[in-house]
Amino acid sequence: MTGWRWRQSWRPAGTREETALYIDAACEAIDRALDDRTDRTITRWLTPVCPECGRMPVETEAGTHVTYGDFVVVGCEGYWVISPAAVGIERPRWDDWRSAPAR
């Protein structure tokens, strides 16, 4: 349960509709980042490891994580891994896991 308390501050996840829009925008942003390596807009949020469970999603777990290519887009508990602002989604509040305390 280490880390549970600060992970709660990442909530709430978006509604189903918001999350769908976010996933579309994040996947497009990942495509742009892979096409143009000089585009560093979202680079710092690209990770193959889920920030919520600290593990690399495996295919047998499909449905718990949303991944795109090698990268986690939505964590297993619904957290948006890539900054929504960086992919053009307005959001009232989003806590950056990159600045969360280390576990």
- The window from 2-10, 12-20, 26-34, 71-79 that contacts Zn ion (CB under 5 A) reads 71-79
Residue 22 has, within 13 A of its CA and on its CB side, a CA count of: 25
Task: Report the residue number, 30 or 81, with the smaller CB distance to Zn ion.
Answer: 81
Binding of Zn ion by 86 (CB under 5 A): no
Hey, what long-range contacts does 12-17 have (CB within 8 A, 24 or more apart)?
13/74, 13/77, 13/78, 13/79, 13/80, 14/80, 14/91
Residues 35-64 that bind Zn ion (CB under 5 A): 50, 52-53
Binding of Zn ion by 76 (CB under 5 A): yes
| Interface ranges with Zn ion (CB under 5 A) | 50, 52-53, 75-76
